[in-house]
């Protein structure tokens, strides 16, 4: 059972539809017990870092997410679902994240000609071989919408980077976790290949 975690923030239906197009059913749930029973967990999200963490906490979803990761269940984080995995985010002041991955989330510091948020299609550059990207072409384009990016302490977890006025981390892989700053559910063929690979793990 693939469960998309509903904590009141995120493009839940579009993520669910992407799984349907991949040939696998995914359910949307805000029930901690359903998340605990999942075989695979998807954490999407949009909005402010601290609001996402607060919503997860108030919904009693933090521990089910931690348990899924600790039990080595396949875990897919999308956009804010990547960022909240880290220890700290600096959006609207410094706020604690879930602390699952060492590192922090910082705002872009870019030359004036680059608009913030970074919005639109951009290329990913692979830093290591990742099973979920196996069917995705080299230097594929994905869709982004974000003003902040992650800074992992351990560079070995960096799966891809992207260039937008500077190189930033656009996805990470650590054991059973794959999390990306881009939106595979909005990224047409390349995104669907990633979703399908995750669905069929």
Domain boundaries, the chain: 2-199
Q: What pLDDT is attached to residue 92?
A: 86
User: Out of 2.60.120.200, 3.40.50.880, 3.40.50.2000, 1.20.210.10, which CATH number does the structure's domain 2-199 have?
Assistant: 3.40.50.880
What phi and psi values does residue 86 have, to the nearest 5 degrees? Answer: -85, 170
Radius of gyration of the chain (CA): 15
Q: What pLDDT is attached to residue 93?
A: 87
Q: What pLDDT is attached to residue 9?
A: 86
Q: What pLDDT is attached to residue 191?
A: 97
Asked if 7 contacts 52 with a C-beta cutoff of 8 angstroms, the reply is yes
Those residues of the chain that have pLDDT short of 50 are: none
Per-residue pLDDT reduced to its tens digit, 48-69: 999 999 999 999 999 999 999 9
Q: What pLDDT is attached to residue 151?
A: 98
Sequence length of the chain is 201
Active site residues: 79, 183, 185
To the question of pTM greater than 0.75 for the whole model, the response is yes
């Amino acid at each position: 059972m693939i469960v998309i975690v509903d904590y009141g923030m995120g493009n839940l239906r579009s993520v669910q539809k992407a799984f349907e197009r991949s040939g696998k059913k995914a359910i949307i749930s805000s029930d901690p017990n359903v998340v605990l029973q999942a075989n695979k967990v998807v954490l999407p999200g949009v909005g402010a870092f601290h609001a996402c963490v607060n919503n997860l906490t108030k919904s009693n979803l933090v521990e089910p997410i931690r348990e899924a990761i600790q039990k080595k269940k396949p875990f897919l984080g999308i956009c804010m679902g990547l960022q909240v995995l880290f220890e700290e985010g600096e959006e609207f002041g410094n706020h604690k994240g879930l602390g699952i991955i060492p590192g922090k989330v910082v705002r872009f510091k870019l030359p004036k000609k680059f608009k913030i948020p970074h919005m639109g299609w951009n290329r990913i550059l692979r830093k290591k071989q990742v099973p979920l990207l196996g069917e995705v072409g080299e230097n594929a384009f994905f869709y982004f919408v974000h003003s902040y990016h992650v800074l992992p302490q351990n560079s070995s977890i960096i799966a891809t980077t992207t260039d937008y006025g500077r190189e930033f981390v656009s996805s990470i892989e650590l054991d059973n976790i794959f999390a990306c700053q881009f939106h595979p559910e909005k990224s047409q063929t390349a995104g669907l290949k990633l979703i399908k690979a995750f669905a069929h793990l």
